[in-house]
A = this chain, B = another copy of it.
């Protein structure tokens, strides 16, 4: 059994004693915003649309977040913290190159599923603002770390050497990241089963064994 990739850092543990008038908290607002961003795209989602989804006035949203872009930043942070967390796990640092690579790929699948909306948003970012560019930078750094694992696995002879490691990594993540386009957690396939399928396809391809 491996540790949970599903949460990090922002864990308070204390439910916090509430004062003043009750209402939405930042997380509830963010969840609604992110699902709207995914449905209509970030730019096409207006504050008016968010306010009607929340059952709140536009102005009230600004009590929770100082700007629309700050909601995006918070969402992207949740996705990136999850992915970067995988690289910090022991399984990503100890063992053979092959085992470390498999651990990270499997961990990435689990983060994708556990934080599906946030990662979905992350994968659609194109870098038009400073916030988006910073997210892209962290994502590229994550990619670079995985490419290094592919290089290690190739040098130790467990991964094919006839394709550039950078291309291999991109194709691998092309496959893994596509999960956000079609996987729905309420289906019959569990996250573990999904990770098994992805790993099987990534390692051995679609040829009959």
Contacts and interface: CB of A to CB of B under 8 A. Distances in A.
Interface of A: 39-44, 124, 126, 128, 150, 154, 157-163, 167-168, 170-179, 181-182, 189, 197-198, 200-209
A141 to B, nearest CB: 16
Most central of A41, A173, A198, A206 by chain B CB within 10 Å: A206
Tally of this chain's copies: 2
Contacts of A181: 170, 174
Contacts of A173: 178
Contact of A159 (B40, B44, B208): B208
Nearest to A208: B160
A191 to B, nearest CB: 14
A194 to B, nearest CB: 8
A160 B209 contact: yes
25 contacts: A41-B41, A41-B43, A41-B126, A124-B124, A154-B208, A157-B208, A158-B208, A159-B206, A159-B207, A160-B204, A160-B206, A160-B209, A162-B200, A163-B200, A167-B189, A170-B182, A171-B197, A171-B198, A171-B201, A174-B174, A174-B179, A175-B178, A203-B206, A204-B204, A204-B205
